[in-house]
């Protein structure tokens, strides 16, 4: 679940990065010159059952994030970013979920930073935008995950989610899975599929609201397999979403990074 998925940090040196699209991370803040934009250009409408992925171009090694179109650059993000900063080979190209596109080239994107739900604007010249018909819905109350492709449901099954009552003894407080709209930002293949993470783990753009750090990382939430299928359907994790191993193995071959993930109570 953290930046290196709740304990997966011990395995990261052996993990193989499987890139279905790209990923993103925060970097150093920069400032830009603010320009007036008296009239907002029209936006490009999204199609039904379709989202858009913004992949940072390989030639852009740092992308600036702006507070508004023609506004101030509030941060920069490295491209690619390192899943594990101690492993130079753990490079992941950066990707975002598109929230809004304007006809003048500015694109609003969801950011993989705290607080959850943060967004910013990027220049269209820095990214490539591609359509995506996959999406994921997670119901915490029902303990289910549903994967859609266009208007079709291609998988639904039970999941384990964050512990609430009673809390896990090692943290002593509830660690619920945060609700909201997020996206897949990195895919990891586990060299030991019998571990708690199962064969594959997706890192999401969300972070725990209960934990500031975990296992040396920033408590990033993940969707991953399991080593105990009896836990599925229960609230027993530090915030991550555990699912069926066979299902995540199949989905890992299909879902591009940048796929939206809606987590509902």
Distance CA 101, CA 190 (A): 36
Distance CA 231, CA 128 (A): 40
Q: How many CB atoms lie within 10 A of CB 50?
A: 12
| Burial of 188: CB neighbours in 10 Å, binned 0-12, 13-18, 19+ | buried
Pairing label, strands 134-139, 260-264: parallel
Query: Is 143 noted as a catalytic residue in this protein?
Result: no
DSSP per-residue letters across 186-207: EEEE-S-TTSTT-SEEEEEEEE
Query: Is 240 noted as a catalytic residue in this protein?
Result: yes
Write the CA distances from 18 to 26, 31, 70, 203, integer angstroms.
Answer: 21, 34, 35, 12
Catalytic pick among 22, 207, 238, 240 = 240
Catalytic pick among 148, 207, 224, 238 = 224
For the record, the structure tokens of 197 come out as 């993470």
Q: Which residues are part of the catalytic machinery? A: 224, 240
């Amino acid at each position: 679940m953290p930046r290196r998925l709740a304990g997966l940090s011990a395995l990261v040196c052996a993990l193989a990065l499987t890139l279905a699209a790209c990923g993103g991370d925060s970097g150093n803040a920069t400032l830009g010159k603010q320009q007036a934009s008296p009239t907002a250009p029209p936006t490009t409408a999204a199609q039904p059952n379709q989202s858009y992925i913004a992949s940072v171009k390989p030639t852009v090694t740092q992308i600036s994030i702006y507070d508004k179109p023609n506004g101030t650059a509030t941060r920069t993000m490295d491209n690619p970013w390192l899943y594990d900063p101690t492993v130079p080979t753990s490079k992941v190209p950066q990707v975002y979920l598109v929230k809004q596109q304007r006809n003048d080239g500015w694109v609003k994107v969801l950011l993989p930073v705290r607080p959850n739900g943060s967004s910013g604007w990027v220049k269209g010249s820095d990214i490539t935008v591609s359509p995506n018909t996959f999406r994921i819905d997670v119901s915490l109350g029902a303990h289910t995950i549903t994967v859609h492709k266009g208007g079709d449901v291609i998988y639904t099954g039970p999941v384990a989610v964050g512990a609430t009552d009673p809390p896990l003894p090692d943290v002593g407080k509830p660690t619920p899975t945060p609700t909201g709209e997020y996206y897949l930002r990195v895919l990891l293949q586990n060299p030991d599929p019998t571990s708690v993470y199962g064969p594959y783990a997706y890192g999401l753009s969300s972070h725990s609201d209960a934990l500031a750090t975990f296992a040396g990382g920033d408590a990033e939430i993940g969707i991953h397999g399991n080593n105990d299928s009896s836990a599925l359907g229960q609230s027993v994790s530090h915030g991550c979403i555990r699912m069926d191993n066979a299902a995540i193995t199949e989905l890992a071959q299909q879902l591009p990074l940048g796929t939206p993930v809606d987590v509902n109570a």
